[in-house]
Amino acid sequence: MSQDHYTLKDIAKILKLSPSTVSRALRDSHEISDETKRLVLDFATKVNYRANPLARGLKERKSYSIGIVVSEIANNFFSQVIDGIESVAYDKNYQVVISQTNESAERERFHVEHFYSRSMDGLLMAMSSESSDTAYLEGMIKKGMPIVFFDRVPATLQSHRVITDNKRAAYEGVQFLVKKGCKRIALLSSSKKLSNSKERLEGFKLGLISQHLEFDEKLVQYCEYGGLKQSEIDQAINHLAELDYDGIFLSGDKLTTGYLQALRRNVRLAKKPIEIVGFTNSNLVDIFSPGITAIRQSAFEMGKRAAELLIEQIEQRGKETNFKTVVLPVELIEREM
């Protein structure tokens, strides 16, 4: 009861042992007698001893912390991913430190470097839509910082990655639209820089081809910020309004919800109901109006897998790693009648 925080030294003094013995006993070293171990462990439990993580980290060059870099925390998809990450980190005794870039490449770089200098054990990140220069990331990796990318991944880096089967998802989405009778399908897409946008575009095209439909570049609108700004969505929709289309594929979460919101505000568009398929991880699709068919990514699972891979890599301590790309399926949630 005498004090708040016991240190190794304190315990050693009280038990008349040396700090190193206590340290070893606590870490269950084989070179400590069972008797001593018991003594130390019992006492440590009694006073609720906790090693000071700062001291330990300083010594071991390890902080038991992993950093997350995403564009936005308050986002269905990312918050579900973070949920998954947290769930495994918690089990494996790692802290999770978050940061957001708001899609700015500069902020992204700042955070990554900050994490590096904060001696994080590893990083989990989804690229910001603005990012193009990944050279500094390559540098980080060379310096030995384990990074696992998810969802939006850079093209060439030597690292684990966990992604969605975007091509297939888009392909299936188109199949669905065609089955519903659509002949001229529009596409609302994010920045072409993003890996996932590119893959979805590809799947979209393949889907059309497989149905003997022509890909019409005019029916495609790109939103540089992935719909972060409603204005870019409004603009895109206004462009599309000039044309004829009977179905639309929304290639991102914000694009999907932004499109629906635009519909609500724009009578001209609301008049001709069309078939809508869109990526979204909102838990509330079933109460959306108009009803849409949702493509839902395995967000929680993505966080889990990414965190597992990262921690595995961290604990290998720079041993040669066989980098994996985990591809996760989507779920197609059909619009209710």
Residues at the site binding DNA, with contacts judged by CB under 7 A: 5, 7-9, 16-21, 23-24, 26-27, 30-33, 35-36, 50-52, 55-56, 58-61
What is the identity of the amino acid at 251?
Answer: S
Q: Which DSSP state fits 4?
A: S
Nearest to DNA of 9, 264 (CB atom): 9
* Token pair listed for 27: 């870490």
Closest CB 211 distance from its own copies, rounded Å: 29
What is the identity of the amino acid at 186?
Answer: A
Closest CB 108 distance from its own copies, rounded Å: 13
User: How far is Cα 315 from Cα 319, in angstroms, rounded to an integer?
Assistant: 9
Exposure pattern of 192-215 as b/e (b: 16+ CB <10 Å)?
A: ebbbbbbbbbebbbbbbeeeebee
Closest CB 92 distance from its own copies, rounded Å: 13
User: How far is Cα 51 from Cα 32, in angstroms, rounded to an integer?
Assistant: 19
Q: Which entry of DNA, its own copies, none binds 83, CB below 5 to 8 A by partner kind?
A: its own copies
Q: Which entry of DNA, its own copies, none binds 9, CB below 5 to 8 A by partner kind?
A: DNA
Nearest to DNA of 35, 214 (CB atom): 35
Nearest to DNA of 33, 210 (CB atom): 33
Closest CB 315 distance from DNA, rounded Å: 13
User: How far is Cα 183 from Cα 190, in angstroms, rounded to an integer?
Assistant: 23
Nearest to DNA of 19, 329 (CB atom): 19
Closest CB 143 distance from DNA, rounded Å: 14
Closest CB 131 distance from its own copies, rounded Å: 18
Nearest to its own copies of 101, 129 (CB atom): 101
Nearest to its own copies of 83, 244 (CB atom): 83
Closest CB 142 distance from DNA, rounded Å: 19
**Segment (H or E) for 333:** strand 330-333
User: How far is Cα 13 from Cα 22, in angstroms, rounded to an integer?
Assistant: 10
Expressed in angstroms, the distance from the first to the final Cα of the chain is 66
Strand partners, 161: 149, 325
* Token pair listed for 261: 């919101």
Q: Which entry of its own copies, DNA, none binds 19, CB below 5 to 8 A by partner kind?
A: DNA
Q: Which entry of its own copies, DNA, none binds 21, CB below 5 to 8 A by partner kind?
A: DNA
* Token pair listed for 282: 């909102």
Nearest to DNA of 26, 141 (CB atom): 26
User: How far is Cα 127 from Cα 37, in angstroms, rounded to an integer?
Assistant: 47
* Token pair listed for 105: 């490449």
User: How far is Cα 79 from Cα 65, in angstroms, rounded to an integer?
Assistant: 19
Closest CB 57 distance from DNA, rounded Å: 8
User: How far is Cα 124 from Cα 150, in angstroms, rounded to an integer?
Assistant: 7
The gap from C-alpha 5 to its chain's centroid, in whole angstroms, comes to 37
Residues that bind its own copies (CB under 8 A): 4, 50, 52-55, 57-58, 63, 65, 72-76, 79-80, 82-83, 86, 90, 95-100, 117-119, 143, 257, 260-261, 264, 282-284, 286-289, 300, 336
Q: Which entry of DNA, its own copies, none binds 35, CB below 5 to 8 A by partner kind?
A: DNA
User: How far is Cα 82 from Cα 194, in angstroms, rounded to an integer?
Assistant: 20
Nearest to its own copies of 114, 168 (CB atom): 114
Q: Taking Cα atoms as reference points, which of 236, 172, 226, 179 lies closest to residue 204?
A: 172
Q: Which entry of DNA, its own copies, none binds 27, CB below 5 to 8 A by partner kind?
A: DNA
Q: Which entry of DNA, its own copies, none binds 329, CB below 5 to 8 A by partner kind?
A: none
